[in-house]
Amino acid sequence: MSKTIVFCEHTGGQVRRASLEAIGAATGAGSEVVALLTGEGAAAAAATATGAAKAICLTGPAEYSADAVATAAAEVTKAEGANAFIAASTYRGKDLCPRVAAHLDVTPFADCVEFTAAGDSFHVKRPWLAGKALATLGSTGTIVATTRLNVFTPADGGAPAETAEHAITAEPKAVVTSIEAKAGAKLDVKEAPVVVSGGRGLQEADKFQIVEDLAAAFGNAAVGASRAIVDLGWRPHGEQVGQTGKTVSPQLYIAVGISGAIQHLAGMRTSGTIVAINKDADAPIFKVADYGIVGDAFEILPALTEAVKAIKAQS
């Protein structure tokens, strides 16, 4: 049976959902999982790493250092005889994995959407060519990979049966001294289960409010944007979906007044269900949409928002 180290981020004493999905990716491919946690509260959060057989908490400096944690993570991977090291494709996971891969002298696989057992290891599937193709990749060495958010189901199972410690001994080269939440911070477009994105079809910045209203009606939706309107200064770059923005894979993606340029599709085409609203029936977005509404966003969105509110009120 293969063994996988899964780097588990945690907040408020709980392992983050993105990391639980990474555990699910490994257990789903039949691997035994060792959860690796670091930072203040790691020991308490370890109990919430459901699906992992064992948890290892890194001990050492209080401040997070990607380079020092990567050294320790590679040490743990080798000491445990693991075939794989996986982290969620978050900022921290994307920062950590290439460093771990460098220590293990292997190539990291980013943003994977499928893991399948292959002997004592895995094959991974990841989007290529801006999402136009899916590549299946294997490695003769340890697999080091990040998992695309919202693709994998968190693993079932109980808390790890065993918890151990491993000391961070490498001298940190760079440390995170503080993390400040943005005032009025909203749900991140990468992590939300529902994303409502708007594009240039919304005509002007003030009219974008109809997209915000629909997202608010869902209650668990984030707002996304095409690059065209980010470049116009209507929306912040943090909301941009696409090749030069964020890659999202929510359960539901609603594209409003977005043409569906290849660079936009690169960031959202693996979403669960895609709904496109566009007044041009030939818009390329309809080629990837599961449901398409041809019409004026200014008529359709308010009606959709009221319908979502009515359904939410009943549930």
Ligand X SMILES: Cc1cc2nc3c(=O)[nH]c(=O)nc-3n(C[C@H](O)[C@H](O)[C@H](O)COP(=O)(O)OP(=O)(O)OC[C@H]3O[C@@H](n4cnc5c(N)ncnc54)[C@H](O)[C@@H]3O)c2cc1C
By CB under 6 A, name the binding residues for ligand X: 199-201, 226-229, 240-245, 257-259, 261, 263-264, 267, 277-280, 283, 296-298
Measure Cα distances from 47 to 41, 50, 124, 126, 205 in Å. 11, 7, 28, 30, 46
Around 275, how many Cα atoms within 13 Å sit in the side-chain half-sphere?
Answer: 18
Please, which residue, 114 or 239, has the CB nearer to ligand X? 239
Shortest Å distance, C-beta 278 to ligand X = 4
Query: d(Cα 166, Cα 76) in Å, to the nearest integer?
Result: 8
Q: In the complex, what is the shortest distance from the CB of residue 186 to ligand X, in angstroms, rounded to a whole number?
A: 19
Question: 161 vs 281, which CB is nearer to ligand X?
Answer: 281
CA distance 237 to 231: 8
Can you point out the beta strands (E) in 121-249?
121-128, 133-137, 143-147, 162-167, 194-198, 221-225
Q: Please state, in angstroms and rounded to a whole number, the distance separating the CA atoms of residues 270 and 134.
A: 10
Least separation in angstroms between CB 237 and ligand X: 10
Pseudo-torsion of CA 153, 107, 32, 191, nearest 10°?
Answer: -20
Q: How far is the CB of 254 from ligand X (least distance, A)?
A: 12
Instruction: Identify the CA nearest to 141 among candidates 115, 104, 170, 109.
Output: 104
Nearer Cβ to ligand X, position 15 or 300?
A: 300
CB of 267 to ligand X, least distance (A): 6
- Joined together, the tokens standing for residue 33 give 């999982």
What does the alpha-carbon distance between residue 96 and residue 86 come to, in Å, rounded to a whole number? 10
Given the complex with ligand X, which of 114 and 191 has the nearer CB atom? 191
Closest distance to ligand X from the beta carbon of 128 (Å): 17
Nearer to ligand X, 160 or 267 (CB): 267
Widest CA span in the chain: 61
Q: Is the CB of 53 or the CB of 228 nearer to ligand X?
A: 228
